[in-house]
Amino acid sequence: MAALARERAMLMRDALAWRDVRVVVALFCAAQLLDGVTTYLALTSHRFQEENPLLSGVLDTHPAAAFGVKVALAAVVVTILLTLRLRWRLRLVVISLFAVLSLVAPVENLLHLVGVA
């Protein structure tokens, strides 16, 4: 078990040695945090409800839980993406896709909050 954890840590360290991978991972994490903040703001305004049926019960009663859920999920996704045995360019493309797609939710939340959408 310890050997497996050590191997995964080495894979993550090797992947994070590339500056562009670090930048894309940081963008993904920033998008997840922004999603958590905008979800929290939307839920505390009492004008919106969580649309995800798996999380709606918890987040409607405890809006701050959105932050914890987002951080935990982001950590799991980053760990999986960094420990996949992919070539450098393919890994960068996959992580970049996750980063770009993760911007959709916070942008949509912001548009709802300002009344545009």
What pLDDT digit, counting tens, does each position of 28-72 carry?
999 998 988 888 888 888 888 878 787 777 777 777 777 787 788
pLDDT in tens, 75-113: 999 988 888 887 878 888 988 998 999 999 899 989 988
- C-alpha 80/C-alpha 31 separation (Å) is 17
| Residue-level pLDDT at 117 | 67
CB–CB of 106/31 below 8 Å?
Answer: yes
pLDDT in tens, 9-24: 888 888 888 888 889 9
CB–CB of 78/28 below 8 Å?
Answer: yes
| Residue-level pLDDT at 13 | 86
- C-alpha 98/C-alpha 107 separation (Å) is 15
- C-alpha 14/C-alpha 33 separation (Å) is 25
pTM: 0.80
Q: HSE of 104 in the Cβ direction (CA atoms, 13 Å)?
A: 5
If you average pLDDT over residues 1-5, what whole number do you get?
82
Q: Residue 48 in 3-state DSSP?
A: coil
| Residue-level pLDDT at 28 | 92
